[in-house]
A and B are shown apart, each in its own frame.
Chain A
């Protein structure tokens, strides 16, 4: 039996409007933006001394930050050690390389509102002297609770 169905525009609902609104809003929920901390990134430091950098990323209350990249370099070929601490103060990353240390991971280390990024750096040398150090960080800030795809 063929049933006559009212065509569009004459009262038959097709939900297109609702579907469109749902899909667009879902995308907006996952919006995120890029974050960078670049303190005046040339530092004059002493060798064999641990330097602690405490960076306040100013994360709003409803957002979270994933720290993805930290790069430290020195102009010499000396050994450089980099330590990164989590929001709870735990050591989560430690690496030593000559001249340059790169921490770069896709997942990132998570930080919340009112938490600080603590990075410690030391340049090792057989004698005490001075060095120039560059340090910069990159991450992604997004709405808290949304999974990172």
Chain B
């Protein structure tokens, strides 16, 4: 027996609205690009320094650090390492004038980090630290 189905718009529900509401919130990870930079210097008498980087990760988010770039104006050798506030060192390296630490797919954190910079010359150095990553909603 053929059944007559009421077409849309005249009272028959098709649940389209409910399906849309269920599907859209599913990609719960909202990701946005993140970057921050800060200057630093080491005077002639300083061998190394720990620089705390304020990441200001909002509540409900985490930061996936993808790259740390430490560059100085002088063409000198520096050593860099990064650690979290619990002193867990998660990357490091040497470089002349610039140290670019790739962390792909990334180091997740919700707190500030510390960057250790060490110079091997008695000259004063000044430069900048750039942190690049993805800010991810965790709910």
Contact = CB atoms under 8 A, between A and B. Distances in A.
Given A5-B11, A14-B18, A23 B96 contact: no
B45 interface: no
Interface residues of B, number: 38
Contact of B90 (A12, A20, A36, A75): A36
A102 interface: yes
A59 to B, nearest CB: 16
Given A3-B6, A27-B28, A38-B89, A19 B105 contact: no
A19 B21 CA distance: 10
B95 A100 contact: yes
Interface string B1-22: 0001110001111010011011
B83 to A, nearest CB: 10
Contact of B89 (A19, A27, A41): A41
Specify the main secondary structure of chain A where it touches its partner. mixed
Query: How big is the A interface, by class?
Result: 35 or more
B6 A134 contact: no
B92 A77 contact: no
Nearest to A69: B104
Interface of A: 1-5, 8, 12, 14-16, 19-20, 23-24, 26-27, 33-34, 36, 38, 41-42, 68-69, 71, 73-75, 77, 99-100, 102, 104, 106, 132, 134, 136, 138-140
